[in-house]
A and B are shown apart, each in its own frame.
Chain A
């Protein structure tokens, strides 16, 4: 074992110095390799972080949401529905929610308006005539607490609110375009009569009960559309994976190009390299030893490129907000939240990335390396 390690150490030593002798060629390869790893790792880290973020956000959303459908379209929940649901075993609480969208001509963006229920917010109940705004809204309209803001509602009436507070920046992913107002204001702004709600949120303690509860609701309220949190989560997971997959497939062209490049680099041995291998074999190296040396060469280059590319991708995603891939992977909106992603790295992802980069590189270089390794010493030296 000890001699084996000593042999490998000597081989690595030799390989490193041989790599250093052809700096330019190898640096070129390293650069391209690093860029490939960087691109793929950026996509992976970014979607993974988004997925993580979505899961975090959904953690605190209600387990079941009940909407009412009229002619296949989402409609208001009429009075009496909450009572009709009655007591379902396993449901901890249920409440009618009021929310809606409002298009603001000034910034050409949609706001989400909501009348928070009493307990669900840090701000508690918003007083009549007051409004709490999301950070992106505050940014776009230049608002601070105490300012006045007016909206012309869909009924044509003008409403004036005093900004009570701006929602914290940390929650921006979910609250960028959010406006919170009191229930009375909300109802008169959208002209929604008392007793009507947009949907009903149920919280369920036991995740295994969720599906049964959904079944019961659909029996009591046949016109209801029931949305489960786990389904939203699953859909997000699928969508982000799908987007990630699509981008990777698009990038596969570059992986292929890279493989061809690696093949070329490995097969286009310079006369000097050929002579080197010839001399090595003349002084007693076997074909197997040359292969081992070349294997170490590939391993060292791969490792260096992988580390560099991965670290660069990490910085790109978590410090520069993935500027290159944002539009494709995140989706877009006028009032897009500014948010910092929480760094998430996992081994599975690294293994996948490894298959996308080191694997094609190795496949592409095996044959050229073998060709180089079987070079006859006399043929080289005579030539």
Chain B
């Protein structure tokens, strides 16, 4: 089922990203191994010039990956009409074995891309390109994931078959194939609630602490990752129930649908932004010791910590509002 505009667009974006990254890899290799800022040789001059191209190119590719994640989820949601039993993205992604792995790979690429962009920004703030080696090593580390995401996407879309009418007998050949992963895997609401608020309050507290005192950077990163998982678990186990006002509807994607006023975007956009910022706090921390970054890193990590704290706080507030605003009574004291 390749001939769908959004699928073509997604595959185009992924394929071009992979190609650009592959083309950049030999140069990245050269940069990692031959870079010597103290040298005035012609090679070094060429390399310095090339870093401009590389960082522009990579910023572009990674920015594309951020948008592609959104488009991927949106597309999965839109395609639900074409599959028997699929009401939203869950059904579409379950249509074959590659759907959810493709989504997870795309999410992983999203966070790596975000972290890389932050590093790149830090590097461009210093005068002597202190992070060139780190950046391009990291790039070579990210490349396999981008390739993996592309492959999974390709496999997913190639193996999709829309259930359309067959001429012999309409309904009987298209079997109902929905499996409700979400329903089975959701935590009981009470535990979900605990986990959700504990993780979020922790990460907000740690991020604020870091923003004010510049301490515990790695804890911020770890807490952000944990809060991300806890937040998704919380959405599955109780937030979605309150939004749908239905005790058994755990879907994390239906939130994005117009029927629910696109409420999901208020949750997911701050959540992803905050998590990316939180992770970046930890990633740039080791470079605070680099002399030319000594002033830059604390300033940036302060800012990132604020973004993380505010993002998580906003997310928690939105989720709390959704629960408070709902007519569903799930837990009785």
Q: A227-B171, A234-B165 are in contact. List 6 more A-B contacts (CB 8 A).
A: A69-B169, A214-B170, A226-B169, A227-B165, A359-B12, A359-B13
Stretch at the interface among B50-58, B101-109, B304-312: B50-58
C-alpha spacing A214/B169, complex, angstroms: 11
User: Which B residues lie within 8 Å of A359 (CB)?
Assistant: 12-13, 16, 64
Sample (6) of A-B pairs whose CB atoms are under 8 Å apart: A232-B165, A237-B82, A245-B7, A355-B10, A355-B71, A360-B16
Q: Contacts A348-B74, A363-B16 hold; do A234 and B5 have CB atoms under 8 A apart? A: no
* Beta-carbon contact of B52 and A288 below 8 Å: yes
Interface of B is mostly: helix
User: Which B residues lie within 8 Å of A246 (CB)?
Assistant: 3
Chain B nearest CB from A251 CB (Å) reads 11
Residue ID in chain B nearest A218 by CB atoms: B172
C-alpha spacing A221/B13, complex, angstroms: 50
C-alpha spacing A24/B188, complex, angstroms: 66
* Beta-carbon contact of B162 and A234 below 8 Å: yes
* Beta-carbon contact of B56 and A245 below 8 Å: no
User: Which B residues lie within 8 Å of A383 (CB)?
Assistant: none
The answer to the question of B174 belonging to the interface, with a C-beta cut-off of 8 Å to chain A, is: yes
The answer to the question of A170 belonging to the interface, with a C-beta cut-off of 8 Å to chain B, is: no
* Beta-carbon contact of B163 and A366 below 8 Å: no
User: Which A residues lie within 8 Å of B329 (CB)?
Assistant: none
The answer to the question of A203 belonging to the interface, with a C-beta cut-off of 8 Å to chain B, is: no
Residue ID in chain A nearest B9 by CB atoms: A355
Chain B nearest CB from A295 CB (Å) reads 8
Chain B interface (Cβ < 8 Å from any Cβ of A): 1-10, 12-13, 16, 20, 49, 52-53, 56-57, 60, 64, 67, 70-71, 74-75, 78, 81-84, 124, 162-165, 168-172, 174, 176
Contact for A245 among B4, B67, B163, B174, CB less than 8 A: B4
How would residues 234 to 248 of chain A score, 1 for a CB under 8 Å from any chain B CB and 0 otherwise?
A: 110111011011101
User: Which B residues lie within 8 Å of A362 (CB)?
Assistant: 60
C-alpha spacing A261/B168, complex, angstroms: 50
Residue ID in chain B nearest A217 by CB atoms: B171
User: Which B residues lie within 8 Å of A235 (CB)?
Assistant: 164-165
The answer to the question of A5 belonging to the interface, with a C-beta cut-off of 8 Å to chain B, is: no
C-alpha spacing A355/B6, complex, angstroms: 9
The answer to the question of A190 belonging to the interface, with a C-beta cut-off of 8 Å to chain B, is: no
User: Which A residues lie within 8 Å of B12 (CB)?
Assistant: 355-356, 359-360
The answer to the question of A271 belonging to the interface, with a C-beta cut-off of 8 Å to chain B, is: no
* Beta-carbon contact of B163 and A231 below 8 Å: yes
* Beta-carbon contact of A366 and B170 below 8 Å: no
Residue ID in chain A nearest B51 by CB atoms: A287
The answer to the question of A249 belonging to the interface, with a C-beta cut-off of 8 Å to chain B, is: yes
* Beta-carbon contact of A228 and B52 below 8 Å: no
* Beta-carbon contact of A245 and B5 below 8 Å: yes
Contact for A226 among B2, B52, B71, B171, CB less than 8 A: B171
Interface of A is mostly: helix
The answer to the question of A351 belonging to the interface, with a C-beta cut-off of 8 Å to chain B, is: yes
Q: Which 10 A-B pairs have the closest CB atoms?
A: A245-B3, A355-B9, A370-B53, A227-B170, A235-B164, A238-B162, A214-B171, A374-B49, A352-B9, A241-B4
User: Which B residues lie within 8 Å of A211 (CB)?
Assistant: 171, 176
C-alpha spacing A334/B1, complex, angstroms: 31
Residue ID in chain B nearest A286 by CB atoms: B52
Chain A nearest CB from B84 CB (Å) reads 8
C-alpha spacing A211/B168, complex, angstroms: 17
The answer to the question of A373 belonging to the interface, with a C-beta cut-off of 8 Å to chain B, is: yes
C-alpha spacing A248/B6, complex, angstroms: 11
Contact for A244 among B5, B20, B174, CB less than 8 A: B5
Chain B nearest CB from A358 CB (Å) reads 10
Q: Contacts A288-B52, A348-B75 hold; do A234 and B170 have CB atoms under 8 A apart? A: no
User: Which A residues lie within 8 Å of B163 (CB)?
Assistant: 231, 234
The answer to the question of A367 belonging to the interface, with a C-beta cut-off of 8 Å to chain B, is: yes
Residue ID in chain A nearest B6 by CB atoms: A352
C-alpha spacing A246/B49, complex, angstroms: 42
User: Which A residues lie within 8 Å of B9 (CB)?
Assistant: 351-352, 355-356
The answer to the question of A187 belonging to the interface, with a C-beta cut-off of 8 Å to chain B, is: no
C-alpha spacing A205/B263, complex, angstroms: 28
The answer to the question of A72 belonging to the interface, with a C-beta cut-off of 8 Å to chain B, is: yes
Chain A nearest CB from B49 CB (Å) reads 5
Chain B nearest CB from A317 CB (Å) reads 15
Q: Contacts A44-B5, A348-B6 hold; do A238 and B82 have CB atoms under 8 A apart? A: yes
C-alpha spacing A239/B164, complex, angstroms: 9
C-alpha spacing A366/B59, complex, angstroms: 11
C-alpha spacing A190/B174, complex, angstroms: 35
The answer to the question of A225 belonging to the interface, with a C-beta cut-off of 8 Å to chain B, is: yes
A window 272-310: CB within 8 A of B:
287-288, 291
User: Which A residues lie within 8 Å of B4 (CB)?
Assistant: 241-242, 244-245
* Beta-carbon contact of B170 and A249 below 8 Å: no
C-alpha spacing A11/B169, complex, angstroms: 64
C-alpha spacing A92/B163, complex, angstroms: 27
User: Which A residues lie within 8 Å of B71 (CB)?
Assistant: 348, 351-352, 355
Chain A nearest CB from B69 CB (Å) reads 12
User: Which B residues lie within 8 Å of A232 (CB)?
Assistant: 165
Chain B nearest CB from A46 CB (Å) reads 12
Q: Contacts A72-B168, A225-B169 hold; do A351 and B52 have CB atoms under 8 A apart? A: no
